[in-house]
Amino acid sequence: MKRTTISLPDDMAMIAAREAERRGISVSELARDALSEHLGLNGGPRELPFANLGRSGRSDIAANHDKYLAETWADDIARDR
């Protein structure tokens, strides 16, 4: 485990210490739990904030993604060869 030092405002440090004591854990464990939850590392599926941002108008993108990428990037692919 890697040790990391963070600076907290006094009021946040006091609240974190109180919460850790209430839970019967260390402040370090409280911080690890909070970071794991925030970063989506708690074992569940990670949220992808960019997923489903747009609509292509096509229903077969997953099945034919290589074809569509090749069509879209044909000029770039040809230039890089």
Name the token pair of 16.
């974190």
Report domain extents, the chain. Answer: 1-43
Given a contact cutoff of 8 angstroms between Cβ atoms, the answer to whether 30 and 16 are in contact is yes
Mind listing the pLDDT tens digit for each residue in 22-52? 999 999 999 999 999 888 787 777 667 777 6
Mean confidence (pLDDT) of the chain: 87
More confident residue, 54 or 1: 1
Sequence-distant (6+) residues with CB within 8 A of 75 are none
pLDDT at 77 (0 to 100): 75
pLDDT at 3 over 80: yes
The CATH topology of domain 1-43 is Arc Repressor Mutant (1.10.1220)
| Confidence bin at 17 (pLDDT 50/70/90) | very high
Given a contact cutoff of 8 angstroms between Cβ atoms, the answer to whether 12 and 31 are in contact is no
More confident residue, 54 or 36: 36
pLDDT at 29 (0 to 100): 96
Give the whole-angstrom CA distance, residue 17 versus residue 23: 10
To the nearest whole percent, how much of the chain has pLDDT over 70?
93
